[in-house]
Amino acid sequence: MNVPIQPTNPPESQEPSTPAGRRTGTSCALVFVGVLVILVVLLGAMIAVTAHKIPRFFSKAKSLAVCQMHLQDSNSESDIAGALARYAKWNHKYPDKLTDLYPTFLNSKSLLHCPADPRPENVVSYEYMKPDINAPGDTVVVVCRHHVMMPDQPPWVLKLLKNGSVVREMPNPADSRSKK
């Protein structure tokens, strides 16, 4: 007896899946490439907008670092802190003005000019407050206010203390907002 063979539907898994699978894979890749292109374009636009600001910030940061080395550089004999200390040791008082340090105690007058100061290089950039020989170590002696790191913000301030250390003061963004 012949059992009629029931026409069976081929199971779903045996459906020729390759073309559909390929289609899905291809559209996934297309979406991925599309997203990638959009990201690259956005990134390019962001770089184009900010690129001119980045080197400017780095050159300002470099000026700040060089200025700090003018004030205090423990690896060098040519810094203002060392020159002031040597002057005070020899004269038992501090100089009346920073230019008195040159040439005996400071080997280059250019160290009295901050790289961020736009004025001519022979101009002394630093504010000097002559301390008493017995003043406390944390007395502020030399100040630089030439470092505007961000537009529309007050400058960063470098302060050289009598004990030879340098204090870097950043502006408080809240202060600059409240001043506007």
- Position among 69, 106, 112, 114 found at the interface with Zn ion (CB under 5 A): 114
Q: Which of residues 94 and 156 has its CB atom nearest to Zn ion in the complex? A: 156
Measured at the CA of 124, the angle between CA 121 and CA 129, to 5 degrees, comes to: 165
Task: Write down the least CB distance from residue 113 to Zn ion, Å.
Answer: 9
Using the contact rule CB under 5 A, the part of the chain among 15-23, 35-43, 92-100, 140-148 near Zn ion is: 140-148
Near Zn ion in 9-48, by CB under 5 A: none
What span, in angstroms and rounded, lies between the C-alpha atoms of 80 and 159?
12
Task: Write down the least CB distance from residue 143 to Zn ion, Å.
Answer: 9
Q: Who contacts 71 (Cβ-Cβ below 8 Å, separation ≥6)?
A: 79, 80, 81, 126, 142, 144, 158, 160, 166
Q: Which of residues 31 and 65 has its CB atom nearest to Zn ion in the complex? A: 65
84 near Zn ion, judged by CB under 5 A: no
112 near Zn ion, judged by CB under 5 A: no
Measured at the CA of 149, the angle between CA 69 and CA 144, to 5 degrees, comes to: 45
Measured at the CA of 80, the angle between CA 75 and CA 83, to 5 degrees, comes to: 85
- Residues found near Zn ion in the complex (CB under 5 A): 67, 114, 144, 146
